[in-house]
Structure 1
């Protein structure tokens, strides 16, 4: 069960961090308040486990406030759109990959509580599952890491956490940091000063994470891109936000374009 916290003065103490159609996220002092979801108890169990095993890069769950919002500790640093520039240089890229490996190792011993509920209906881990399956973050990109300089100090936004092979997170991250994007997007939006050496960056990430080989990685990224597009399409069709708005704004067409680019330009990464 959730703990309950006292009420707060919304007018004088709330700092809006995100105010979208699907959720309003605010900071109050050293805490962050977000709308609680059906999977929030399971995610809080995961975050408590991370605290218990000494993983210092996740927010701590503090319960539910009087307005039904989950309460998490605030992590000081840069995140969101500011995260993209942090992974351009080799040191930031290596730190990003090592953070993911450290998280996977920290959650390996986690056992979801009975009746665990995940946002994508992935279910809980079962006996006999793959040794490579952990509770993946599910949305591990530079925007969901908190940075101080080029050092990551936290991982945020755990809504898509779910049981999956480690490669699920690795492939997702590599789409964005290799990146599987054309030169124009890299130069215009992703803070590169020149077209990136995608093959070298992919190898650098995999080495920092601790993989012995990059064999099959490109196929895994393309498959992960397709899975993500299918997930957005399914959630949009069911009326979930923000996916419904994303679909209405043309994101599904953009996701299909990115998949086509990856298939056509895979020689840049292999």
Structure 2
């Protein structure tokens, strides 16, 4: 039986409102992938993967209850260590460990389709596992300077491993023009950091060849998807859109097209 208690708001997420801590638990309001998230977390517990919260049940308010994971999270303003390469590499290793742990779970036949606008072109990128797909600095818990756990599985969905690495690089290389990045992440050697991430994840060479084409295609889709979610779901999606996320995606597209060859060269040499 889950106990009630003082609710402490947890801040920093972009789209999940009403997230609170109650004692040693986190309570999350219902989301679009509740059953999938529950089943993935139960699988991770079954296989002994420690780098994710444990699913504890549903409380009297209908919220998912998860274990609260103590540690250090890079909220805003970003801490000085956000650009540290050793921490970045540890995130890639954690993501690889999660992907290896979740792959035996398979891809459920009833996995919910993402909320996307009609008419988006299909990607030649078959899913291999249920990916996290939101490895933002806010969603990685560090201990002793090393990535310890992934949190916030709300965007989990069937994807390829390469698509997981695209999401990883988006936030941790990171990908995009300096003027749209946090000050601590400007002026970095992004091709070099992408190579470090790919090596730490142990991404195979064929996937390195296609990674930037996939990144550009996903970024194109992201603009339409974010716009659609802002209009249909409102909430945090609408807030992000009003704050200019669409413009940032457009700027990133130009940057990706200009830097794709340099990043691919770094990945392969």
Q: TM-score, normalised by structure 1?
A: 0.83
Higher relative contact order (CA 8 A, sep 6+): 2
Whole-Å Cα distance in 1 between the matches of residues 214 and 22 of structure 2?
40
* CA-based RMSD: 2.7
Distance 1:140 1:85 in 2: 19
1:210 matches 2:202: yes
Q: Judge conservation of contact 2:74–2:82 (CA < 8 Å) in 1.
A: no
SS of equivalent residue, structure 1 residue 56 = coil
The reply to whether residue 201 of structure 1 matches residue 187 of structure 2 is: no
Alignment partner of 1:134 out of 129, 133, 154: 129
Residues 174 and 221 in structure 1, CA contact (< 8 A), matched pair in contact too: no
Q: Which secondary structure does the structure 2 equivalent of 1:78 belong to?
A: coil
Distance 2:11 2:36 in 1: 23
Give 2:169's aligned residue. 174
**What is the CA distance between 1:195 and its match in structure 2?**
1.7
Measure the CA separation in 2 of the matches of 1:268 and 1:85: 27
User: Are the structure 2 counterparts of residues 38 and 253 from structure 1 closer, same or farther at C-alpha, using a change threshold of 3 Å?
Assistant: closer
Tell me the alpha carbon deviations over residues 153-197 of structure 1, each in whole angstroms, 9 at most, x when there is no partner: 1111111101111111111111222222223455xx2524x7211
- In the TM superposition, residue 26 of structure 1 has moved relative to its aligned partner by 0.8
- Aligned positions of 1:51-90 closer than 5 A: 51-81=45-75, 85-86=80-81, 88-90=83-85
Indicate which of 29, 36, 43 corresponds to 1:42: 36
Assess if the C-alpha contact under 8 Å between 1:84 and 1:190 holds in 2. no
1:22-79 CA-partner distances (Å, limit 9, x unpaired): 5111111110011022421221111000011111001001111111111000000122
Unaligned runs of 5+ in 2: 117-124, 265-269
Q: How does 1:11-26 map onto structure 2 within 5 Å?
A: 13-18=6-11, 23-26=17-20
User: Displacement of 1:119 after TM fit?
Assistant: 5.2
Equivalent-residue separation in structure 2 for 1:137 and 1:197 (angstroms): 26
Aligned length: 253
1:95 to 90, 97, 100: 90
Q: Structure 1: 5+ residue runs without aligned partners?
A: 122-129
Post-superposition shift, 1:86?
4.6
Partner of residue 109 from structure 1, selected from 104, 119, 139: 104
Structure 2: distance between partners of 1:107 and 1:132: 13
Partner-residue secondary structure (3-state), 1:71 = strand
Name the counterpart of 2:157.
162
| Cross-structure match for 1:8 | 4
CA–CA distance in structure 2, aligned partners of residues 26 and 167 of structure 1: 33
Counterpart secondary structure, 1:95 = helix
What's the offset of the Cα at 1:204? Answer: 0.9
